[in-house]
Structures are given as structure tokens and as C-alpha cells.
Amino acid sequence: MELVLSGPGSAHVHARRTDQVLIDLINGTQRSLVLVTYSLSMYAELKAALQAALARGVDVTVLAEDPRDGSPHFKQDPAVALAGLLVRRLRWPKSQRPAGWTSLHAKIAIADEETVLITSANLSEKAAGDNLEAGLLIRDSDYAVRLGKHLESLLIGGVLIRE
């Protein structure tokens, strides 16, 4: 397990930055990549890493909050951010959410069913680099497989849908 931080550093914790860990994780992926985020705002380094992963034949799935489903104040459209990238996109539709205001707030990256990044950082350049964010990189296939199967079961059960 490895501590992952963004934002200002201190002498008390030595950790890699979220942007470095995320890009390294994507660049090292060979088979499958699942990205889950509330807010998705594409930036050059993330797009290049995703393009390279797709060129290697990596199966990329992205689950992100969609303005049709969450808070009326949420405006970031993942379809716009992912334009030109041949990824599988998932949604958590409003019809499958509990009554009242709920949001897809998890931030997870699962690589090759072997490694998981769980972080407070959204998929944006600001969150991955400048915001004060914290997370854990877990190199354990048990966690990676269980999280992947959880998302898969939500898809099979109709809680999540393919876009």
C-alpha cells in the first residue's frame, strides 16, 4: 500500500502526487482499466495516457457523474471530456438513485484487476495536482477484483447502464 497526496507538501509525509500515480497506473495497464469519478475534466497528460492505453489494446471503462442524473448544479459532461476516446462509458441514472439528491462521488482506478487507486481526487488536472487530496494505492488483486465485481454486479443489476 502506498500513500498518495496532492497539493501542498510537508516534511512529515513523503508520498507521490496523485497525478504521477494516476498516469503511471494508466501507463502500466496492459488489459483493463476502470475509472470512477464524480467530476471528469480532461487534461493533456491524462488524455495522452488514455490514448496510449487504448492503442495497447487496454479495455477502458469510465463511470462518471452525468449532468442528467445528479445535482442540477453539476454541469460537467463526461461525453464531452471523453470525446474522441473509444472507451466504454457507464452511467448511474437518476431512475436508479435513491429519492432526493445523491451523487456518484467515488474516485477509483482499477488496473488489470491487480491494483486499485482510491482517492479523494476527481479526474481533473487541478484535483490530481494542486488541490489538497489524499488516497491510497493498493497493490492487491483481491481488492481490485472485488471492486471490479461490485461495479459489474451494479451493471448487471441495472443500477448502472452503458452509454
Query: Domains in the chain, ordered, with CATH?
Result: 2-8+16-162 (3.30.870.10)
Segment 85-97 shows an average pLDDT of 95
E strand segments, 14-128: 16-17, 32-37, 59-64, 88-91, 108-111, 115-119
Judged against a pLDDT cut of 80, whether residue 90 lies above it is answered with yes
Coil vs helix vs strand at 73: coil
Instruction: Please state whether 29 falls in left (phi above 0), alpha (psi between -120 and 50) or beta.
Output: beta
Judged against a pLDDT cut of 90, whether residue 13 lies above it is answered with no
119 pLDDT band, cuts 50/70/90, is very high
Judged against a pLDDT cut of 80, whether residue 101 lies above it is answered with no
33 φ, ψ (degrees, to nearest 5): -140, 125
158 pLDDT band, cuts 50/70/90, is very high
Digit-coded pLDDT (tens) for 103-117? 899 999 999 999 999
Whether the model clears a pTM of 0.85, i.e. scores above it, the answer is: yes
Segment 79-89 shows an average pLDDT of 96
State CA 2 to chain mean position distance: 17
Segment 73-97 shows an average pLDDT of 93
72 pLDDT band, cuts 50/70/90, is confident
Q: Higher pLDDT residue, 57 or 11?
A: 57
Segment 133-154 shows an average pLDDT of 97
Judged against a pLDDT cut of 80, whether residue 34 lies above it is answered with yes
pLDDT, mean over the chain: 94
Judged against a pLDDT cut of 90, whether residue 16 lies above it is answered with no
Angle at which helix 18-28 crosses helix 44-55, to 10 degrees, equals 20
